Homo-oligomer: A and B are copies of this chain.
């Protein structure tokens, strides 16, 4: 039970690991329409003004604003219709003093004009003349050159996760290919003499592998690529051989350890044998998730996650998610939380960070967080829960009625 002597607070444990993580981020070029949710590898700067010509934001008439000053229903301004701007073409007409040029929303405001009168505020007098019944200010109903973004301005920073509107914004600038960080390959090894693949019928005493499926999906959800190495019996040589293979072919190795102390210690020994510096953290002041092992072998991060499904998810979230974000240059780790009112007391021991599963129940305008208690060996408590509530290291617990942050699964 080595772990008992070296437990660190979760944040400290992650810092120890982080100090040994590689800093270089690997990149690749992808077309714009494959870039959703990818992370920008470079700071993007606008190659052009947007728009690069003054555009009308209304259907109406391009005019000189001064020609409409003082116009009203009772005393309209009369303007001569000098022509029309066709959509998608250069305005090859000039709006002179006392003139109006017919224009549609999105049309190019012609030279001479500095505003657009909405068609609703005009009336045709005859084929060549309109009356304007409300004045417009200079610039009104016009999108100025570079009003959206100017050439040379910062568009999006390195590390930004690309959203749908970002892709639209890049399309607008003609950026149809871009440098993003590479998706990471994450090696996943399950271990345990009692564990069989999900498609097998377990014999008495055996159980099906749960964590490979869960961890693979967590990796996908984080935007990376799971590589499954199957189930390895609790034998040092076999575990080491598989872990070595995983280390050589992936960017990050997760070993979902057996639950007994002896197999947990073996996990640490195997990870320690993979390279330098080896195991950095063995045991964390955390429940569930105490027997977590964190390490680095020759630049590859290594994780020995506890076998219990709940512990496995909590420790993935606390340690693997920020590591993946770090390795892929993410500006921030996305974390979806909601505020909810706790329905009952959660006891906890000071000096340990606790994560308690909760179900969310709507109560009028407010959400309630109902603790779902259950042994961390259970998987179905996780399925009945919607998220986790954290009890801080130095807190003795949380009281019913408190507002808490719920980290959504």
| Chain A interface residues toward B at CB < 8 A | 32-33, 36-37, 50-53, 55, 57, 59, 85-91, 104-108, 119, 143, 147-149, 155-156, 163-176, 192-195, 198-218, 220-221, 228, 234, 258-263, 307, 309, 313, 336-339, 375, 377-380, 382-383, 409
Sample (29) of A-B pairs whose CB atoms are under 8 Å apart: A32-B213, A36-B217, A37-B221, A53-B204, A59-B260, A59-B261, A89-B204, A91-B205, A104-B263, A105-B261, A106-B307, A119-B261, A143-B375, A156-B383, A163-B217, A163-B409, A165-B379, A167-B213, A168-B211, A168-B213, A168-B217, A168-B382, A169-B380, A169-B382, A170-B213, A171-B209, A172-B207, A337-B338, A339-B339
Pick from B156, B207, B337: contact of A106, CB below 8 A. B207
Residues in B with CB closer than 8 Å to A217 are 33, 36, 163-164, 167-168
Judging by beta carbons under 8 Å apart, are A193 and B87 in contact?
yes
Most B-side CB within 10 Å, residue of A53, A87, A168, A209 = A168
Residues in B with CB closer than 8 Å to A220 are 36
Pick from B51, B147, B382: contact of A165, CB below 8 A. B382
Inter-chain CA distance A165–B312, complex, in Å, is 10
Residues in B with CB closer than 8 Å to A50 are 379-380
Beta-carbon nearest neighbor of A168 in chain B:
B214
Quote the shortest CB–CB distance from A3 to chain B (angstroms): 13
Judging by beta carbons under 8 Å apart, are B205 and A108 in contact?
yes
If A106-B192, A379-B172 touch, whether A206 touches B88 (CB-CB below 8 Å) is: yes
Known A-B contacts: A169-B379, A171-B208. Give 4 more (CB < 8 A): A36-B217, A90-B205, A105-B307, A156-B383
Quote the shortest CB–CB distance from A264 to chain B (angstroms): 9
Copies of this chain, count: 2
Judging by beta carbons under 8 Å apart, are B169 and A375 in contact?
no
Most B-side CB within 10 Å, residue of A195, A259, A313 = A259
Pick from B32, B149, B195, B203: contact of A90, CB below 8 A. B203
Most B-side CB within 10 Å, residue of A53, A143, A156 = A53
If A148-B379, A165-B379, A382-B165 touch, whether A198 touches B172 (CB-CB below 8 Å) is: yes
Residues in B with CB closer than 8 Å to A86 are 193
Most B-side CB within 10 Å, residue of A88, A104, A215 = A88
Inter-chain CA distance A263–B108, complex, in Å, is 16
Inter-chain CA distance A397–B259, complex, in Å, is 57
Pick from B52, B85, B213, B313: contact of A171, CB below 8 A. B213
Judging by beta carbons under 8 Å apart, are A375 and B57 in contact?
yes
Pick from B147, B173, B309: contact of A378, CB below 8 A. B147
